[in-house]
Amino acid sequence: MTTFNDNLQISKMSTICLSEVKVYGDPAPIEVRVLKKWIPYHDKKYIYYLFVDAHGCAIEATTSTNNKAHFDSVITIQSCYIIDDYVCLSKRPYMPTVGHDASIRLGMIATFTPSSNNNIPDHYFDFATYNELMPITKLPKRLTDFIGRVIDDKHKPVKSTTLRKIIIIDEDMISSETSLELTLWPNHNVKAPDKTNIGSIIAITSAEVKEYMGKYVSTK
């Protein structure tokens, strides 16, 4: 429970925007909402978090999976905190979720003070257009947010399973020849509607985009 004295202490605490977090810089308190948590399939040693602040800036934070029990007891997803005593590092070299050059490493001494700031968004998108996909597909890759109009939604049998393929275009695309194909595997934990109508507008977040046979494809 947050007491009056706690609120007084929070109000006196000076925080910085996430855009001011610099690689190997001196950390200062940040006020953020914790949007999500995940463990990448290619890096099982670390837990990743996505933070967003009231300015709409976002940054990745990591901690060792050895600290899982501690941070599971400290962090509630979609809750807001003032965080201090962290370490500023460079972003991970492979498939970061945001373009920020810095990232945050959370150790056992990091402090989390609950915040009731209602001005912090409960979501974050950094949409790429079709014309911006090419550099994102090259090393060091970055996971992509994309929004577009559905032009096809079909199921395709492949060996012992069935894949779902959603074809979308945005305002930079003029036909199915310049489209993004999203492939959904049934064994992947992906939140997606069971059916999308042709012409519907959908948003994709944290997707890996590849170039395949002259087209852009994404698998989740």
CATH of domain 130-219: 2.40.50.140
129: which residues sit within 8 A by CB, 6+ positions away?
A: 170, 171, 172
pLDDT of 211 reads 81
Contact between residue 11 and residue 3 where contact means Cβ atoms under 8 Å apart: no
Contact between residue 151 and residue 168 where contact means Cβ atoms under 8 Å apart: yes
pLDDT in tens, 1-42: 444 344 444 444 699 999 999 999 999 999 999 999 998 877
Cα–Cα dist 15/144, whole Å: 28
pLDDT of 1 reads 42
pLDDT in tens, 127-148: 888 888 887 787 777 788 888 8
pLDDT of 174 reads 59
Task: State the average pLDDT over residues 89-106.
Answer: 91
pLDDT in tens, 162-198: 888 899 888 766 555 678 888 887 766 566 777 889 9
Q: What is the pTM for the complete model shown?
A: 0.76
Decide: residue 175, CB within 10 A, 0-12 exposed, 13-18 middle, 19+ buried. Answer: exposed
Neighbours of 85 (CB within 10 A): 13
- Homologous superfamily of domain range 4-115: Nucleic acid-binding proteins (2.40.50.140)
pLDDT in tens, 38-56: 988 777 899 999 999 999 9
Highest mean pLDDT pick, 94-98, 109-113, 216-220? 109-113
The pair of structure tokens assigned to 170 is: 């945005």
Cα–Cα dist 210/191, whole Å: 21
| Residue 141 DSSP symbol | P
92 pLDDT higher than 80: yes
Q: Do the first three CATH levels of 4-115 and 130-219 match, i.e. the same topology?
A: yes
Q: Where are the domains of the chain?
A: 4-115, 130-219
Cα–Cα dist 114/76, whole Å: 10
pLDDT of 128 reads 85
Which is more confidently placed, 114 or 187? 114
Mean pLDDT for all residues in the chain? 86
